[in-house]
A and B are shown apart, each in its own frame.
Chain A
Amino acid sequence: MHDKSIVQLAAGLRSGEFSSVDLTQAFLDRIGRYDGILNSFITVAEQSALKSAEEADQRLRSGTATPLTGIPIAHKDIFCSDGVKTSCGSRMLDNFIAPYDATVVTRFKQAGAVMLGKTNMDEFAMGSSNETSYYGPVRNPWDQASVPGGSSGGSAAAVAARLCVAATGTDTGGSIRQPAALCGLTGLKPTYGRVSRYGMIAFASSLDQGGPLTRSAADAAAMLQVMAGFDPRDSTSADRSVPDYSGSLEDEIAGLRIGLPKEYFGEGLDPAVARSVEQAVDEYRRLGAELKEISLPNSALAIPTYYVVAPAECSSNLARFDGVRFGYRCDDPKDLEDLYKRSRGEGFGAEVKRRILIGTYALSAGYYDAYYLKAQQIRKLISDDFRSAFEQVDVVMGPTAPGTAFAIGEKADDPISMYLSDIYTIAANLAGLPAVSIPVAPVGGKPVGLQIIGNYFQEGRLLNAAHRFQQVTEWHLARPELFYKEDKP
């Protein structure tokens, strides 16, 4: 049951093969059995999940069900969920019961999906390994000594280990795609503005975007169909219609023009990962795609630029955590300033503090032009690189991450080396473009991701290209055996 796709599960729910309550209980049992090892959930909402499942079963009987009705999913703990703890992986929000739903959460509720719980993540989504979480690291289902990637590491581990059918994530610099790559999943970061950010705790507002982590492109299409769409409550939400993502999965891809940026295959890329990615690209050639080497000349500037833009916006967004209106408050503040400083000093972890400090510095008087303004200008150059590329090709392909999952602790004390694990994913955020990571041939038993970047609002085409690949390959069907023993009756 836990290895079926969303479409298969929806069919099973309709034929009466199993109920949503059966399905939900089966996943809750799996969480109970395996999450002690993985630590992928911060909160398991057992009672409300079973209640939603009962409602879903009624809806299935009454004929008002949607494709997601009764399907057990999980939300990254960055999405506010009414009445449920929403921690963002931080001590700062350890006591925070969200008083409202994020639009993404509302949309899944309306679709009748069952929320099993909230998944672990890097604190405030700042990290690439899930090690900055206040709730401890998440383990990679493929190798428990390794990280699952981050920041949506809990969502990735939970989906990979079949503790939920699919999960939501957010991606500011690679936080959906990199964990998808490291855990062998399909992870999609949509175009900036495609998915509402309302109720999604803000990190860097001009980069943040929610999206799905799933086991296949077809599942991602079903998830995105629910998530995408205009929301008047998000002032940067794109007011344009949402296409039928599942409907275009089977479109022909012969003649698809694929650009291979030479900057994405150079120094810093693990040669074995490069071979896997090249093999996958070759598969596309066999499917009739045309390959073309291209150049994205400003690629090397993406990381430096990101580490100005993201911290600057984070320092501003995280100013709201002041110990006054919600969240952590220090004991016995001697005055207001002490209350602010110690609540924040004790409530935030080391990486969040580093980024707040860098951002504060970059935005401080006298430095704005040299840092933030300069970064916004380079952002334009990076965006122009893609603009030229998309005049010649339909999609851009390359590795998602420079290597496979690294050991827990390996990069934890070296922020810079951690930052470099997002070297291929950050540019899509800076430009606001959609991009998907799909699993290709593993290296040393660990998953590898192929990244496909598309032009604005081309999510349908990305999922189509991903689906076509998954029809002729089986990498996305590989499963971590430990978590796959068939449940004993």
Chain B
Amino acid sequence: MSLDRSDVEKIAHLARLAVSESELEAVAGDLSNILNLVEQMSSADTVGVTPMAHPLHMAQRLREDQVTETDQREHFQSTAPATENGLYLVPRVIE
């Protein structure tokens, strides 16, 4: 499996990750090498094998639908890059 520059551009867009023009070639090479390693999986016969989603085959635990956390908005927003009136600020989305 080999990826080219345009594949990397597409994946990087899906991941919302800036990859510069100058890095594209090298990244494509690295990712292709990793996919070649991963390709070894095809040697395994997995017909009828149940995929393992959890090491202990446990079901996700559910809790009562009750409020357990207190409101700490200001505390948690103190680490945010930009906030105003309790809201997170981002560049204008709607003109």
Q: Which residue of the partner chain, among A307, A308, A346, A362, contacts B18 with CB atoms under 8 Å?
A: A346
A353 and B90 form a contact (CB under 8 A): no
A383 and B82 form a contact (CB under 8 A): no
Alpha-carbon gap, A376 to B11, bound state (A): 22
Asked whether B55 is an interface residue with its Cβ less than 8 Å from the other chain, the reply is yes
Return the chain B residue nearest A328 by Cβ: B81
Given contacts A300-B40, A322-B16, contact A99 B78 (CB under 8 A): yes
Min CB–CB distance A296 → chain B (angstroms): 14
A377 and B38 form a contact (CB under 8 A): no
Asked whether A488 is an interface residue with its Cβ less than 8 Å from the other chain, the reply is no
A378 and B44 form a contact (CB under 8 A): yes
Chain B residues within an 8 Å CB radius of A419: 37
Return the chain B residue nearest A209 by Cβ: B55
- 0 or 1 for each of B21-40: is its CB under 8 Å from A? (1 = yes): 00000010011011101111
Q: Which one of A151-159, A231-239, A283-291, A398-406 is at the B interface?
A: A231-239
A383 and B55 form a contact (CB under 8 A): yes
- 0 or 1 for each of A83-111: is its CB under 8 Å from B? (1 = yes): 00000000000011101000000000000
Interface residues of A in 291-318 (CB under 8 A from B): 298, 300-301, 303-305, 307-308, 315
Chain B residues within an 8 Å CB radius of A239: 61
Asked whether B67 is an interface residue with its Cβ less than 8 Å from the other chain, the reply is no
Given contacts A337-B16, A383-B52, contact A416 B11 (CB under 8 A): no
Given contacts A344-B17, A373-B51, A380-B50, contact A361 B37 (CB under 8 A): no
Q: Which residue of the partner chain, among B8, B16, B49, B76, contacts A344 with CB atoms under 8 Å?
A: B16
Q: Which residue of the partner chain, among B20, B41, B50, B61, contacts A305 with CB atoms under 8 Å?
A: B41
Asked whether A272 is an interface residue with its Cβ less than 8 Å from the other chain, the reply is no
Return the chain A residue nearest B15 by Cβ: A360
Asked whether B60 is an interface residue with its Cβ less than 8 Å from the other chain, the reply is yes
Chain A residues within an 8 Å CB radius of B78: 99
Q: Which residue of the partner chain, among B34, B38, B52, B76, contacts A380 with CB atoms under 8 Å?
A: B52
B38 and A99 form a contact (CB under 8 A): no
Asked whether A142 is an interface residue with its Cβ less than 8 Å from the other chain, the reply is no
Return the chain A residue nearest B39 by Cβ: A304
Alpha-carbon gap, A335 to B94, bound state (A): 10
Chain A residues within an 8 Å CB radius of B8: 357
Return the chain B residue nearest A308 by Cβ: B38
Chain B residues within an 8 Å CB radius of A336: 90-91, 93
Q: Which residue of the partner chain, among A97, A342, A381, contacts B46 with CB atoms under 8 Å?
A: A381
Chain B residues within an 8 Å CB radius of A340: 16
B76 and A99 form a contact (CB under 8 A): yes
Alpha-carbon gap, A219 to B91, bound state (A): 51
Min CB–CB distance B87 → chain A (angstroms): 11
Return the chain B residue nearest A415 by Cβ: B30
A376 and B51 form a contact (CB under 8 A): yes
Return the chain B residue nearest A456 by Cβ: B56
Asked whether A16 is an interface residue with its Cβ less than 8 Å from the other chain, the reply is no
A344 and B52 form a contact (CB under 8 A): no
Alpha-carbon gap, A140 to B16, bound state (A): 36
Min CB–CB distance B50 → chain A (angstroms): 6
Alpha-carbon gap, A206 to B53, bound state (A): 8
Min CB–CB distance B4 → chain A (angstroms): 13
Alpha-carbon gap, A431 to B54, bound state (A): 9
Min CB–CB distance A266 → chain B (angstroms): 16
Chain B residues within an 8 Å CB radius of A342: 18
Chain B residues within an 8 Å CB radius of A193: 55-56, 58
For the complex of A and B, 10 pairs with smallest distance between CB atoms: A432-B55, A345-B18, A376-B51, A377-B46, A329-B81, A380-B52, A340-B16, A341-B18, A360-B15, A377-B49
Given A236-B60, A358-B31, 20 new contacts (CB under 8 A): A99-B76, A235-B61, A239-B61, A304-B39, A304-B40, A326-B79, A337-B16, A339-B90, A339-B91, A344-B17, A353-B17, A353-B19, A357-B17, A361-B35, A364-B11, A374-B44, A379-B52, A415-B33, A416-B33, A433-B55
A-B contact pairs, 27 of them (CB 8 A): A99-B75, A193-B58, A298-B44, A307-B37, A319-B16, A322-B16, A325-B80, A333-B90, A334-B91, A335-B92, A337-B16, A342-B18, A345-B20, A357-B15, A357-B27, A360-B14, A361-B31, A364-B11, A374-B42, A374-B46, A375-B41, A377-B46, A377-B51, A415-B34, A416-B34, A416-B37, A431-B55
A positions within 8 Å CB-CB of B: 95-97, 99, 191-193, 206, 232, 235-236, 238-239, 298, 300-301, 303-305, 307-308, 315, 319, 322-327, 329, 333-342, 344-346, 348, 353-354, 356-358, 360-362, 364, 371, 373-381, 383, 415-416, 419, 430-433, 456
